[in-house]
């Protein structure tokens, strides 16, 4: 096994990145103390984690609030090595896959690192997924040899197991065995903390198979090699001046983003690199606000739906949030209305970032060295990452300010889709990742997401972005949430429909016509919704994004019901 004790990171402040066009407008603002490129010898992710853990063995690594258990970085390695050895003795080998379906807990991290040690591929499965999606993932992977599952998700996995055969189910969060399973503690009972001796190729070997959210179809497996994931995480960690040096070994980070998701998984790697204490508990807005106050959290990262729930919490204005220095959001766009409410109370803007599963979680971020943080912008590309706006049909680069498809390039781009070479060829063109997102870039290099290419509504020849309409609608005092889609119209082809969730106090006082009339006054004549329907809750993906495909399906079903029956 290769010795990585002398491994190091080289920050290059002199030479331009080999991945980025040096003439990009945002680079003119980059200060001299932000590296232009990051270089390091390829290293497996688990060895990278061990490299930092050995420097801070006595720091608390994980505090799991629900069980009141703490684990140091020394214990992180101890339990991870036992899991790796136990899996190796079970016959798990390089090239196999091991699935993990669990809420955030210490065992999830121990299992991830243990799987990596064997050379097997980690497959995180979102605990919110239903039986059908989990079955698809297991079938798609094709070589799952073990499945770690939290007790709360066992019923789902039990049903899946009847459809797809896979051996070895290990239960987390319980001491009670089920039929044909073993508990986590029994699994590592009498197992020495000795990692298996397996040679890993960090450049080519896959560390994780991350499945996409499936908003436009069935989830696809995205292949993350060790090297590309690490490039992505380090580029974000060093995105701003002295971010790493100021925080290493002293920080507290709330681990509320699902670790099974690309963004949460990437933040986990960065948090471990910072030797921070991860405070874990199920997301609840009141608990988050209390934890920020109690632990004096300086950095908070969430997704828009979390911010929305926090802002609407009665505790939002009652807690002391003055310790917060930075707030970040990703996964989807945060409406300016919510960003403004956050800034009014907390005193800082929410910095938006951007990434995809296909870019190993991260690609663009709101760098503090830019002239300002623009809440409506996702920021600028990270170190060693380039981005352009192109015509979606011709792929020709567009002028500044024009809306087109966002393409990104760098050492963080996925290896490809698992067993889907044609889909890989369609989405990676000459090294550029086609994101499917519509965006624009201003003269200073700030990027702005305008929506998905599939979320553009074509109304009477005008191109209307669903997100723009949604952000306008939530300004209405009665509107809690809004989801906008294009729906078929027999006269003009397509029209704009808004699904609205009303605030409780307005449910009996507001009509659909009220919303349409208000929107007509506030929006351009071709942008306001022509149809409005009230619903109790917006469908969301497992990571909190508005599930517009479900809204379109709902509309199609309603229209089918309204069609007259054909006489026999």
Question: How far is Cα 70 from Cα 540, in angstroms, rounded to an integer?
Answer: 33
Per the DSSP assignment, residues forming a β-bridge with 99 are: 123, 147
Question: How far is Cα 187 from Cα 115, in angstroms, rounded to an integer?
Answer: 14
Q: In b/e form, how buried is each residue of 524-534, taking b as 16+ CB within 10 angstroms?
A: eeebbbeebbe
Q: Inform me whether the pLDDT recorded for 568 exceeds 50.
A: no
268: phi then psi, degrees, rounded to nearest 5: -60, -50
Q: Do domains 9-282+353-441 and 460-561 have the same CATH topology?
A: no
Q: Inform me whether the pLDDT recorded for 374 exceeds 50.
A: yes
Average pLDDT of the segment spanning 385-403: 95
C-alpha to C-alpha distances, 400 to 23, 27, 380, 388, 442, nearest whole angstrom: 14, 15, 14, 10, 6
Beta carbons of 146 and 90 less than 8 angstroms apart: yes
Q: Inform me whether the pLDDT recorded for 293 exceeds 70.
A: yes
Report pLDDT for 52.
95
CB atoms within 10 A of CB 241: 17
By CB atoms closer than 10 A (0-12, 13-18, 19+), residue 466 is buried
C-alpha to C-alpha distances, 330 to 279, 321, 378, 379, nearest whole angstrom: 20, 21, 9, 11
Tell me the pLDDT band of 563, cut-offs 50, 70 and 90.
low
Q: Inform me whether the pLDDT recorded for 242 exceeds 60.
A: no
Question: How far is Cα 144 from Cα 92, in angstroms, rounded to an integer?
Answer: 10
Average pLDDT of the segment spanning 469-490: 90
Average pLDDT of the segment spanning 183-203: 96
Beta carbons of 35 and 383 less than 8 angstroms apart: yes
Q: Show the beta-strand stretches assigned E in 227-269.
A: 252-255
Lowest mean pLDDT across 234-248, 255-269, 365-379: 234-248
pLDDT: which is higher, 472 or 490: 472
463: three-class secondary structure by DSSP = strand
Query: Which tokens hold the place of 301?
Result: 């990262």
Beta carbons of 123 and 208 less than 8 angstroms apart: yes
**Could you tell me which residues come within 8 angstroms of residue 110 by beta carbon, excluding any fewer than 6 positions away?**
76, 79, 80, 82, 83
Instruction: Report, in this order, helix, strand and coil percent for the chain, each rounded to 5.
Output: 30, 25, 45
Average pLDDT of the segment spanning 347-365: 93
Long-range contacts of 429-434 (CB under 8 A, 24+ apart): 429/395, 432/388, 432/407, 432/408, 433/356, 433/358, 433/359, 433/407, 433/408, 433/409, 434/405, 434/407
pLDDT tens-place string over residues 179-190: 899 999 999 999
Report pLDDT for 217.
57
**Could you tell me which residues come within 8 angstroms of residue 416 by beta carbon, excluding any fewer than 6 positions away?**
223, 424, 428
In the chain, domain spans: 9-282+353-441, 460-561
Question: How far is Cα 389 from Cα 84, in angstroms, rounded to an integer?
Answer: 44
Report pLDDT for 101.
97
Question: How far is Cα 320 from Cα 309, in angstroms, rounded to an integer?
Answer: 17
Per the DSSP assignment, residues forming a β-bridge with 225 are: 206
* DSSP-derived pairing of the beta strands 326-329 and 350-352: parallel
Question: How far is Cα 94 from Cα 118, in angstroms, rounded to an integer?
Answer: 6
Per the DSSP assignment, residues forming a β-bridge with 174 are: none
Match 């019901």 to its residue by tokens.
561
Secondary structure (DSSP) of 497-526: EEEEEEPGGGTTT--HHHHHHHHHHHS-TT
Q: Angle at which helices 304-311 and 285-295 pack, to 10 degrees?
A: 90
Query: Which tokens hold the place of 296?
Result: 């004096």
Mean pLDDT across the chain: 91
Question: How far is Cα 499 from Cα 509, in angstroms, rounded to an integer?
Answer: 17
| Residue in 63, 68, 47 with CA at minimum distance from that of residue 113 | 47
Identify the helix (H) or strand (E) that includes residue 75. helix 73-90
334-343, 382-391, 493-502, 532-541: range with highest mean pLDDT: 382-391
By CB atoms closer than 10 A (0-12, 13-18, 19+), residue 461 is exposed
Task: Determine the Cα angle at 105 with ends 104 and 110, to 5°.
Answer: 115
Average pLDDT of the segment spanning 222-251: 84
By CB atoms closer than 10 A (0-12, 13-18, 19+), residue 11 is middle
Q: Inform me whether the pLDDT recorded for 558 exceeds 80.
A: no
Q: How many residues does the chain have?
A: 568
Secondary structure (DSSP) of 194-232: --------TTTSEEEEEEP--SSSS--EEEEEHHHHHHH
Average pLDDT of the segment spanning 357-365: 95
pLDDT: which is higher, 559 or 500: 500
Q: In b/e form, how buried is each residue of 163-192, taking b as 16+ CB within 10 angstroms?
A: eeebebbbbbbeeeebeebbbbeebbeebe
The pTM for the full model equals: 0.82
pLDDT tens-place string over residues 82-117: 999 999 999 999 999 999 999 999 999 999 999 999
CATH 3.50.50.60 fits 460-561, yes or no: no
Homologous superfamily in CATH for domain 9-282+353-441: ANL, N-terminal domain (3.40.50.12780)
Match 């039929």 to its residue by tokens.
179
Average pLDDT of the segment spanning 356-366: 94
């Amino acid at each position: 096994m290769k010795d990585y004790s002398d491994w190091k990171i080289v920050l290059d402040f002199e030479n331009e990145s080999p991945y980025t066009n040096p003439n990009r407008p945002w680079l003119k603002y980059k200060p001299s103390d932000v590296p232009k490129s990051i270089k390091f010898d390829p290293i497996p992710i688990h060895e990278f984690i061990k490299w930092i853990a050995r420097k801070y063995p006595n720091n608390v690594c994980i505090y799991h609030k629900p069980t009141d258990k703490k684990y140091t970085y020394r214990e992180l390695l101890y339990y991870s090595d036992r899991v790796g050895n136990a899996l190796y003795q079970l016959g798990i080998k390089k090239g196999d896959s091991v699935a993990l379906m669990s809420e955030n807990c210490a065992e999830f991290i121990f299992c991830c690192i243990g799987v990596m040690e064997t050379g097997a591929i980690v497959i995180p499965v979102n605990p919110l997924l239903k039986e059908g999606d989990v079955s698809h993932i297991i079938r798609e992977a094709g070589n799952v040899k073990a499945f770690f599952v939290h007790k709360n998700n066992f019923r789902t996995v039990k049903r899946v197991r009847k459809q797809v055969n896979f051996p070895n189910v290990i239960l987390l969060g319980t001491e009670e065995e089920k039929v044909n399973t073993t508990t986590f503690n029994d699994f590592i009972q009498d197992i020495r903390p000795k990692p298996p001796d397996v040679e890993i190729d960090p450049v080519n070997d896959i560390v994780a198979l991350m499945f996409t959210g499936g908003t436009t179809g069935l989830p696809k497996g995205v292949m993350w090699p060790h090297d590309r994931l690490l490039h992505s995480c380090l580029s974000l960690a060093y995105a701003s001046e002295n971010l790493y040096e100021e925080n290493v070994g002293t920080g507290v980070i709330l681990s509320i983003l699902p670790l099974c998701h690309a963004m949460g998984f990437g933040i986990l790697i960065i948090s471990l690199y910072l030797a921070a204490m991860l405070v874990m508990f199920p997301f609840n807005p009141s608990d988050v606000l209390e934890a920020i106050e109690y632990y004096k959290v300086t950095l908070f990262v969430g997704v828009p739906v979390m911010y929305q729930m926090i802002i609407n919490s009665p505790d939002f204005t009652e807690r002391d949030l003055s310790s917060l220095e930075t707030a970040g959001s990703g996964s989807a766009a945060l409406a300016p209305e919510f960003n403004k409410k956050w800034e009014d109370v907390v005193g800082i803007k929410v910095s938006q970032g951007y990434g995809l599963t296909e870019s190993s979680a991260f690609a663009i971020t709101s760098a503090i060295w830019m002239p300002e943080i623009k809440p409506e912008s996702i920021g600028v590309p990270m170190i060693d990452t380039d981005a352009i706006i192109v015509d979606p049909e011709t792929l020709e680069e567009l002028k500044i300010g024009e809306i087109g498809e966002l393409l990104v390039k760098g050492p963080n781009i996925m290896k490809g889709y698992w067993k889907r070479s044609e889909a890989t060829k369609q989405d990676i063109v000459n090294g550029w990742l086609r994101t499917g997102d519509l965006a624009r870039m201003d003269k200073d290099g700030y990027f702005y997401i305008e929506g998905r290419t599939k979320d553009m509504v074509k109304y009477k020849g005008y191109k209307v972005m669903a997100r723009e309409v949604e952000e306008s609608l939530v300004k209405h005092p009665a509107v809690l949430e809004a989801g906008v889609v294009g729906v078929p119209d027999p006269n003009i082809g397509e029209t704009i429909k808004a699904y609205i969730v009303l605030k409780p106090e307005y449910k009996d006082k507001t009509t659909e016509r009220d919303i349409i009339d208000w929107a007509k006054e506030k929006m351009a004549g071709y942008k306001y919704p022509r149809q409005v329907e009230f619903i109790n809750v917006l469908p969301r993906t497992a990571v909190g994004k508005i599930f517009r495909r479900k809204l379109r399906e709902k509309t199609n079903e309603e229209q089918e019901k309204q069609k007259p029956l054909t006489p026999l």
